[in-house]
Amino acid sequence: MITKNLPVSCPSCDSQLRVKSLVCSACDTIIEGQFDLPLLAKMDKKEQDFILSFVKHSGSLKEMAKEMGLSYPSVRNLLDAIINKLNQLEQQPEV
Amino acid sequence: MKTNIWNPYERIAGTKALLWGLGLTFIACYFGYLGKIHFDGIMDIHIGKSHPYIIYVSEALINLVSISLFLYLASLILSKSKIRLIDIVGTQAFSRIPLILPAIFGAIFPLEQASAYFLYKYANMGSPVNISTFEIVGFIFFLFSNFLAIIWMIIWMYQAYKVSSNLSGTKAVTSFIISILLAEILSKLSIYFIIKP
């Protein structure tokens, strides 16, 4: 089965994408508007997976490092990069 | 996942790196003891006088403490990440593993005579010495292994610092160079005043 990743940035100009419509899969009701993506949805797939893994491991970087086959500081550096990106996204003005 | 030979610290750090680093450093010191090869400074490899094994180990430990101290201080000042001392010390200890190469060559080949021969021939120091082709070849191997080990060690030391401190770019390069220079001074002075080999 093909996994469809949610695109978060425009393939043409690389700007952040927004949600234009939402559809109810049961009754086909469509809601249209301009909605911002939640902060976590703006991260790319790898970063989202890292955050999920972090939560599942109760925030233990040691456990994550063991599972990922990486050293502790490498995992901590990945986490720091995600924290920086989250801070940047939070500071970006909403369109 | 493959381990990158130029940056093993993506995979190894902390206590594991420290144990590997210290273990192989002590073995390098034993070879050094056999061949009178001293690591008397964080980037120094010299043929010296014969001393008890503990002197060679003390020199190695002084080198490790000196470089770790300055890199840890630099990390605390410059990095926004939570730095662990064990990562700095462990990865720096691991970075010194390449020094085992010249130590082994020093133990295999008799270098003292060759050293005296080249000093007299090219620097006009000491007195004339006759040496065999085996000694000349051994000395060349030793010099080549010195060069290789130092370059390899510096690359690993820098990668270790980058990963352990989460620094990059100019900040990382500048603070690394300054730390090396300060650590070289501290290690030289410590070895001179504490051990007096």
Say if A46 falls within a structural domain: yes
- Nearest residue of chain A to residue B167 (CA atoms): A77
pTM assigned to the model: 0.87
ipTM of the complex: 0.83
Contact A70 B87 (CB under 8 A): no
Say if A7 falls within a structural domain: no
Say if A84 falls within a structural domain: yes
Say if A25 falls within a structural domain: no
Number of domains in chain A: 1
User: Quick one: average pLDDT of A49-63?
Assistant: 95
Number of helical H runs and strand E runs in chain A: 3, 2
Say if A4 falls within a structural domain: no
- Report d(CA B91, CA B14) in Å as an integer: 7
Question: How distant, in Å, are the alpha carbons of A3, A30, A31, B175 from that of A26?
Answer: 21, 11, 14, 60
**Chain centroid to CA B160: how far?**
14
Say if A42 falls within a structural domain: yes
- Report d(CA B57, CA B92) in Å as an integer: 16
State whether residue A72 sits within 8 Å of chain B by CB. yes
Chain B: closest CA distance from residue A92 (Å): 21
Chain segment B26-84, per-residue pLDDT in tens: 999 999 999 999 999 999 998 888 899 999 999 999 999 999 999 999 999 999 999 99
Best interface-test mutation with B: which of A74, A75, A87 has the largest number of B CBs within 10 A?
Answer: A74
> Residue ranges of the domains in chain B?
11-195
What is the CB neighbour count within 10 angstroms for residue B72?
A: 21
CATH number at residue A54: 1.10.10
Say if A16 falls within a structural domain: no
* Least confident piece of the model among A36-40, B114-118, B145-149, B166-170: B114-118
Does residue A95 surpass a pLDDT of 80?
no
Chain segment A16-31, per-residue pLDDT in tens: 889 999 999 999 999 9
Range(s) of the domain holding residue A61? 37-91
